[in-house]
Chain A
Amino acid sequence: MAVPYKIWLSILVFIPILAMLFISFSNLSSSVSVGELTLSLAHFKLLWESSTVIAFRNSLIFAVATTLISFVLGYFIAYEIKLSKFKNKFILLTFVILPMWSNLILRTESLANIMSENNILKNILGFNLFGNISGTWMAVLFGLVFTYMPFMILSVYTALEKIDFALEEAALDLGLRPIKKFWKVVFPLSFKGVVTGAIMVFLPTLAGFAIPKILSRGRIVFIGNIIEQKFIYTNYNHGALLAVVILFFILGSILLITKFDKEGETLL
């Protein structure tokens, strides 16, 4: 019974990737017939174009910044949930996840609205909550952080829940104040959750294009936006190449993680 799935997976995993690789190296397009196919590295010039480099730089910087900020804020929230005297933690977690159930594009768009000069909150409250940051890096960062933070919160909270409470009591018993107990016992034992959360924030941010485009009004270009452009102008060769680069980045990150965590616990 597994055979059909093996076939399915092989087709859908390998063939698209092969296709992508192939197209990045060839000149296949709608205007070229089969007879004229050549393989070349011609498209690689794209990688050194300044617009591409800038886009890569943007994607990386924002991904790292988003991950770091989500980590700090998200860990804080996860820890507060853990410490809370509220009996039903599930409800608290539900409230954290709830925004994710709204349409992402719609949410981002409404954020863009309230970050512009005149917006509905300014109308109601009398002042501009976000200043006029629409179109700036601050808007993009805010949107990215608060879109993906719930992943970090969930991941960290899961790791925190697994810590045996007796270990914390032992630390207190041995003379550690609560703050020291956190740094020396709780945080080290929750680290796997932090890494998982970091991946879940870093990768989508790196490869995203919708959020940056909406919040920066197209001014800040991510690598995803370039791929989007290539897609729209049916320049699939270039688009495929860039997608392949992102893919390598993802594979690299995952390899790093597996090296760091030999038991393979982190990812699931």
Chain B
Amino acid sequence: MENQKATLKDYGYRDFTTLNKIYKILKKIFVVAIVLGLYISIIVIAIQSINESRNLSIFTRVSFQWYANILQEEELMQAIRNTFLVSAIATVLATFLGTFFAIGLYALSKKVRVLWMLLNNVPILNADIVTGFSLMLMFRLLMVVFPNIFGLFTLVMAHLFFTIPYVILSVMPKLKETDPNLMDAAMDLGVRPYKALIKVVIPAIKAGIFSGMLLALTMSIDDFAISYFTTGAGFDNLSIWIYAVIGRRNLTPSVYAFSTLLTIFTLVGLLTYQFLQKQKKGKKNEKNNFSDIAS
């Protein structure tokens, strides 16, 4: 006795399976279109980077000369050097200061801490242009005392201003997760408070410190607007330099080459990180299995 198949109609629903199939195909097309939109600019950058011609409108031949040429372009190298210099200094300082500030804030009572955390969010939420402009004004006021202030110093200060909050935001949750008794336990065992801090608390929150450092680095390297207003003495970072050169149509394709290299480097870095994470998980699982067998 063969039973009949139950249909959607029996239970009051219309059959949309064919419509669904069309819909699925449309969705896929739409996704591809959007992803293309996101990637079109860096695809073009990559194409320009292997274009032999300097002309941005015509593709002549595939050539990697612009990659080799990167080191030759003095202005580009200067801008790159400046960018990395500022970001390196700012990131290191921000990570260091941010971590200690976070620990300090964490030790405060809840009400006070919430207030200062709110204030901490201001640099993050504020628009770049407002931050940049207002910082610039403040530095100008200081120019009365320090006439040569604009340049590397102001740039680093400005970068510190908006990166430290990110570090604090990354470290805080980790601090909240740690056992409040950790410090006490260390001191109970005879370790001095300052050393206890370094040897006990810091390792416990190192994941937060690391992610905060990465965040600070990202925000600092790519910054345009804030740097635009707070730099001086011709100390341009990469973004500012490109922005200035754009009108002149003299942009050397080596910039594109450099950017493409950076993108590839980042991609490889992220994928490697993912891969390593998987390896770690795999090893952990193996360890667990062994302990099961052993017990």
Are A and B part of the same complex? yes
> Does B134 contact A243, Cβ atoms closer than 8 Å?
yes
Report if B108 contacts A (CB, 8 A).
yes
> Does A120 contact B47, Cβ atoms closer than 8 Å?
yes
Nearest to A114 among chain B residues (CB) is: B44
Q: A101-B263, A102-B42, A114-B40 are known contacts. Are A12 and B34 too (CB-CB below 8 A)?
A: no
> Does B125 contact A4, Cβ atoms closer than 8 Å?
no
Nearest to A204 among chain B residues (CB) is: B127
Separation in Å of the B33 CB from the closest CB of chain A?
Answer: 9
Q: A111-B41, A243-B129 are known contacts. Are A2 and B107 too (CB-CB below 8 A)?
A: yes
Expressed in whole angstroms, the Cα–Cα distance for A199 and B246 within the complex equals 30
Separation in Å of the A182 CB from the closest CB of chain B?
Answer: 13
| CB-defined contacts of B58 to chain A, threshold 8 Å | 118, 120, 123
Separation in Å of the B137 CB from the closest CB of chain A?
Answer: 4
Separation in Å of the B250 CB from the closest CB of chain A?
Answer: 12
Q: A5-B105, A90-B274, A107-B42 are known contacts. Are A120 and B129 too (CB-CB below 8 A)?
A: no
Q: A5-B105, A103-B238 are known contacts. Are A20 and B134 too (CB-CB below 8 A)?
A: yes
Report if B207 contacts A (CB, 8 A).
no
Q: Which of A235-253 contact B (CB under 8 A)?
A: 236, 239-240, 243, 246-247, 250
Q: Which residues of B contact A (CB under 8 A)?
A: 13, 27, 30-31, 34-35, 37-42, 44-45, 47-48, 51, 56-59, 97, 100-101, 103-105, 107-108, 116, 119-123, 125-131, 133-138, 140-141, 161, 164, 169, 218, 222, 224-225, 229, 238-239, 242-243, 246, 251, 255-256, 259, 262-263, 266-267, 270-271, 274
| CB-defined contacts of B224 to chain A, threshold 8 Å | 104-105, 210
> Does B59 contact A123, Cβ atoms closer than 8 Å?
yes
> Does A15 contact B125, Cβ atoms closer than 8 Å?
no
Expressed in whole angstroms, the Cα–Cα distance for A205 and B221 within the complex equals 20
Interface size class of A (residues with CB under 8 A): 35 or more
> Does B133 contact A77, Cβ atoms closer than 8 Å?
no
| Interface contacts beyond A96-B38, A106-B45: sample of 13 additional A-B pairs, CB < 8 Å, sorted by A | A1-B104, A12-B161, A19-B138, A98-B42, A102-B41, A102-B42, A110-B42, A124-B59, A146-B38, A210-B225, A247-B130, A250-B126, A267-B121
Expressed in whole angstroms, the Cα–Cα distance for A122 and B238 within the complex equals 28
Report if A47 contacts B (CB, 8 A).
no
Report if A214 contacts B (CB, 8 A).
yes
Q: Which of A9, A121, A214, A240 has a CB less than 8 Å from the CB of B44?
A: A121
Expressed in whole angstroms, the Cα–Cα distance for A191 and B92 within the complex equals 37
Expressed in whole angstroms, the Cα–Cα distance for A70 and B137 within the complex equals 34
| CB-defined contacts of A135 to chain B, threshold 8 Å | none
> Does B251 contact A240, Cβ atoms closer than 8 Å?
no
| CB-defined contacts of B140 to chain A, threshold 8 Å | 236
